[in-house]
Amino acid sequence: MDAAIAAVQIRTQHVVEELATHRHRQGQLVMVLHGAVTCEVQGALWMAPMHGGLWIPGGVPHSNQMTANGNACFLFVEDGAVQMPTTCCALAISPLLRELILHLATLPTRTQRNPETVRLHAVLLDQLVRMPTETMHLPVSDEPRLRRLIDALMRDPSDRTTASQWASRLAMSERTFNRFLQSETGLTFGRWRQRLHLVLALQWMASGASVQQAADRLGYETVTAFIVMFKKSMGTPPARYFSERRSRRGA
């Protein structure tokens, strides 16, 4: 890649698209336009926020998953082109930065060294470093016993197996299980499962699922209970959260 930055736009069809663990020399910004993109790195599962972006530093091994009917732009930034975070993080994306990235993704490769495009790169990079970070990740672990728990709850997030029951399944006391999970993820079992529910709910609703559908898939007895959990975590109910995101995109 000759230019300091480059962008491509990718759309998925009616199936989930997955890319196995890989790495890039360049830093990568995943900007979601529709649907949701999740990225797993060592120790964490990240989700790009709706109408926002996910920053993955260069050289970091990661896997990507984009929901069906998804639409995202991937911005590649050469190391040293601008001072970006050295760890994965979610970024807010301003309307100006969004349009700059979209425009860059439409330009032919042969124009990347044109003076006009070089000036566009400079403006884009200047905007990129100004974007505030957001927290939207799920701590995970590669420890075999905890990976059993993580994989099981990812497959069936409505599973209400208690911490005591999981401890028994994993052949440890409940106290040891709780300390082990805390040391590996930084969260208690209850908070970890709640974070999982939040990440999955955001992914589903960004792809078009209703609040009721998200609550049902997560095993909540009532949609009200789900809304209370969401508001406690995100500071606003789901409908308002997505409304504000759409307003921010069009501001």
Report, in angstroms and rounded to the nearest whole number, the Rg of the chain calculated over CA atoms.
19
User: What range does the domain containing 101 cover?
Assistant: 5-134
pLDDT for the residue 68: 81
Look at the alpha carbons of 155, 159, 161, 162 in this order and tell me if their dihedral is positive or negative: positive
DSSP, res 14: S
The pLDDT tens digits for 18-35 are 889 999 999 999 998 887
The pair phi, psi for residue 132, each rounded to 5°, is: -75, 150
> E strands of the chain, at which residues?
5-11, 17-22, 27-34, 37-41, 44-47, 53-56, 62-66, 71-77, 89-91, 133-134, 137-139
pLDDT for the residue 1: 42
pLDDT for the residue 135: 64
Count: domains in the chain: 2
Closest C-alpha among 7, 15, 4 to residue 33: 7
Burial of 134 (0-12, 13-18, 19+ CB in 10 A): middle
**Domain stop point among 116, 134, 152:** 134
pTM for the whole structure: 0.74
pLDDT for the residue 246: 65
Closest C-alpha among 111, 101, 99 to residue 29: 101
The reply to whether 10 and 128 lie within a common domain is yes
The reply to whether 159 and 235 lie within a common domain is yes
pLDDT for the residue 73: 93
CA angle 192, 248, 135 (to 5 degrees): 20
pLDDT for the residue 166: 95
The reply to whether 25 and 122 lie within a common domain is yes
Residue ranges of the chain with per-residue pLDDT less than 50 = 1, 251
**Domain stop point among 66, 100, 134:** 134
